[in-house]
Structure 1
């Protein structure tokens, strides 16, 4: 799980979060020599960009627009070290610094690298995840406005369809030989949304630091590292509730590649 998705129930004295549907959007835009991937959800807003010459990564640029913890922006340093690496190896190298970097930054940088190789001009993913009264989760993904994936998840596994029985946690390994590359990418994007969606059960403003909710959690991202989490102070008042407001993230994008 991610730093927020690890915890699904508030502890003693903590208020419950808003519940309801979690929404997340990823927008990929490209121009010659620069590929951008922007992500926004209830908890985060990152803009990442990869500058390249068609074969080599020249620079990785990350803007932390809105983050749950005050230390999140510092995680960009690990990914900036990808400059000078071959574009074709970039996503694999990015994965190697997963815990030293931010999970969400890494996801977007890996997408930007992949789509730089494809020269994608624009691609939009929209996701909505909501738990029903029976505890089962419905997770939907729309690509460029068209429905693409619609999962029912019970006890951590997808039910029905070509991914029947696949664990959301183990999806990268279990689904690799079941899906075409473009569908596997979409499934990975939706997987992240499912794994973070449970954090809506928490009011994060009740926790002064990431360490206050993560002492017993594995270090799955930068702000959960043992040496970081107790000084990863909460950025209070930063959570949004897109589904309750009847709107989608990235309605006001930060800009286009230049």
Structure 2
């Protein structure tokens, strides 16, 4: 049975914060395993500089992705970020932050998303994404497949792309962020020693490319924000 408030149960927490300024925009994320930010400097159309910061990352090789992100997006039009490609050769988290920043670079106000994924409750995980205290999207997942809503029952988390493309643009953003957060949350149920050999991972990010996977070592502090001692991005 779904809890009345996911804030009251143990689980994964992730916060995105996108803040537009004059001629620049900063996009930040923090969760159990990551604390990162991307700042895009722009002239209203083109990105003139990219700054990436990794305060907390899970692998020794992750910081090298900061230069890769700059190489990928400097000189690219804000409206063309989603067409750029090269996500799997970048840090996927920095890449997503860059896309969020570009999409909201000309906004007037700050945008914050909170993602909450429960740990297993009678075999299910319950997932929500909120903004300003309002729930924008929620679903129930079990063994990497959706259980609810009924229309999506049986669909794998990584096979939601077709459904997401049917949504309005703002709803697509919300669904993508919730899907990705739900996938990352699975790490909470996998012993650390079983997820600490990069050579066993598919080559779907900067660190997991074969030439770096052999050198990557698991590092970094892991927080459990659901215990209430810390709040993502509170600093």
Question: What is the TM-score with the length of structure 1 in the denominator?
Answer: 0.80
The two structures, once aligned, show a CA RMSD in angstroms of: 2.1
Judging by fraction of residues, say which structure has more helix: 2
Q: Is the 8 A contact 1:78 1:97 kept in 2?
A: no
Deviation of 1:21 (Å): 0.2
Q: 1:108 to 1:214 in 2, by over 3 A?
A: same
Deviation of 1:147 (Å): 1.6
Unaligned runs of 5+ residues in structure 2 are 1-8
Work out whether 1:76 is the aligned partner of 2:66: yes
Q: Is the 8 A contact 2:15 2:29 kept in 1?
A: yes
Work out whether 1:58 is the aligned partner of 2:42: no
Q: SS state of the match for residue 207, structure 2?
A: helix
Q: SS state of the match for residue 173, structure 1?
A: helix
Q: 1:160 to 1:203 in 2, by over 3 A?
A: closer
Alignment of 1:193-208 (within 5 A): 193-204=181-192, 206=193
Alignment of 1:6-155 (within 5 A): 20-81=10-71, 82-93=73-84, 96-116=85-105, 118-155=106-143
Alignment of 1:178-197 (within 5 A): 179-197=167-185
The count of residues paired between Structure 1 and Structure 2 equals 225
Higher relative contact order (CA 8 A, sep 6+): 1
Q: Is the 8 A contact 2:15 2:30 kept in 1?
A: yes
Question: What is the TM-score with the length of structure 2 in the denominator?
Answer: 0.87
* Higher mean C-alpha displacement, 99-108 vs 158-167: 158-167
Q: Structure 1: how far apart are the matches of 2:131 and 2:171?
A: 10
Q: Structure 1: how far apart are the matches of 2:118 and 2:76?
A: 39
* Higher mean C-alpha displacement, 195-204 vs 106-115: 195-204
Moved >3 Å (runs of 4+): 159-163
Deviation of 1:145 (Å): 2.2
Q: Is the 8 A contact 1:79 1:97 kept in 2?
A: no
Q: Structure 1: how far apart are the matches of 2:168 and 2:151?
A: 12
